[in-house]
Amino acid sequence: MLISFKTSMKTRTTTNLFSKFPTKGRAATLLLAAAFSVAGCGDLFEPTISEICESHSEICLDLSLDARCRAERAEIIRLRYYNQDSKDEAYKYPLLLNFEEYLECVEEAQHIEHVKRKGKEATRLKGVITAQREIKRLSRETKNSFDPYLSYYHWTRYNNKDAYHRFERYAASNQVTDPKLLVELASVQIKTDQERTIKTLYRALSLYTDSSDIDVSIFYSLASVGMDRENYRLAYVWYGVAENYDERLNETQRIQLGQKYALPVEILDNIVDEIVSNLDSATFDAGSLKLDNL
């Protein structure tokens, strides 16, 4: 099985490999908003949320209006605003993610007691109803979408097998650029297809732009595949890489592996150093490193 640990973005630890909802929508929202702002409006400054709601009240009226969940609400408003006439479904993936965040926030806020301001409960209930309705509507509209990320959404949220196979094909053709989603895919592939798992994880590693963000369970998973396939050189190399990114791991296991199977450790240690150098410089490419020869 793939191994998971606790998340820390500032240290070289890992994300949860089996997290059902691994991706937040705000970065995607900002990128989409910026793109539409430049291409669509041509304005030097994009409008504020207040300005959007004043000129397009229909975008805002079905959301809760109190001070809580303001950031989550703003993401939804901007996505709605910049995609009013869009015929491309891509924006619906970050919109779904932001509605999930918004629903979680307003449901939590709804449980907070307001002794002097009971009226807040009504507007939050409106937010809950809107979020639930919109998630259902958007899910229904995108069930058979050919967008890679919407396929991922329907696989992970609804266990849609067709969506899973679509997403797997998109991943294999390098149309998925979020490494966390590829790690999620590998957690399923490893049960039936270890060769494909290796390719998926190598692709994920090639997408990281900051080595401190790398999910170190990738290294353990590759080492585990090596052990399962009795490819001890592969296991040795990835245990070695893991040592560089996970301070909890010492070299004992790797050294014992090299001794037990009489591995060419000097050569393999050089490969470890090359991989680490490539990961640190965000230039990892399994083909260039000839890792298929391990």
* pLDDT tens per residue, range 95-110: 999 999 999 998 887 6
Q: Which amino acid is at 225?
A: V
The average pLDDT across 266-285 equals: 98
Average pLDDT of the residues in 139-146? 96
Mean pLDDT of the 190-197 span = 95
State whether residue 277 is helix, strand or coil: helix
CA distance 17 to 23: 12
Give pTM, 2 decimals.
0.78
pLDDT at 32 over 70: no
Yes or no: say if 79 and 91 are a contact pair by the CB < 8 Å rule: yes
Here the tokens at position 67 are: 């001070």
Burial of 231 (0-12, 13-18, 19+ CB in 10 A): middle
Q: Is the pLDDT of residue 244 over 60?
A: yes
Distance separating alpha carbons of residues 90 and 83, to the nearest angstrom: 10
pLDDT band of residue 27 (cuts 50, 70, 90) is very low
Q: Which residue has the higher pLDDT, 108 or 176?
A: 176
Above pLDDT 90, what percent of the chain? Answer: 72
The chain-wide mean pLDDT, for the chain, equals 85
Q: How far apart are CA 273 and CA 237, in angstroms?
A: 9
pLDDT at position 247 is 87
C-alpha–C-alpha distance, residues 250 and 1, integer Å:
21
Tokens read off for 247: 């301070």
Mean pLDDT of the region 210-238: 97
User: How much of the chain is in helix, strand and coil states, percent to nearest 5?
Assistant: 65, 0, 35
pLDDT at 113 > cutoff 90: no
Contacts for 181 with CB less than 8 Å, ≥ 6 apart: 22, 23, 149, 152, 167, 171
pLDDT-based confidence at 220, cuts 50/70/90? very high
Report how far residue 140's alpha carbon sits from residue 93's, in angstroms, rounded to the nearest whole number: 13
Determine contact, residues 208/239, Cβ cutoff 8 Å: no
CB 228 within 8 A of CB 194: yes
Does residue 270 carry a pLDDT above 50?
yes
Residue 222 has pLDDT above 70, yes or no: yes
pLDDT at 121: 58
- Range in 103-112, 130-139, 183-192, 276-285 with the lowest mean pLDDT: 103-112
> If we measure between CA atoms, which residue out of 242, 226, 253 comes closest to residue 279?
242
Average confidence (pLDDT) over 63-79: 90
What is the rounded distance in angstroms from the CA atom of residue 81 to the CA atom of residue 98? 14
Cα distance between residue 45 and residue 88, in whole Å: 24
User: How many percent of the chain have pLDDT more than 70?
Assistant: 80
Of 29 and 109, the structure prediction assigns the larger pLDDT to 109
State residue 259's pLDDT score: 96
For residue 276, give the amino acid letter: V
For position 234, what pLDDT does the model report?
A: 98
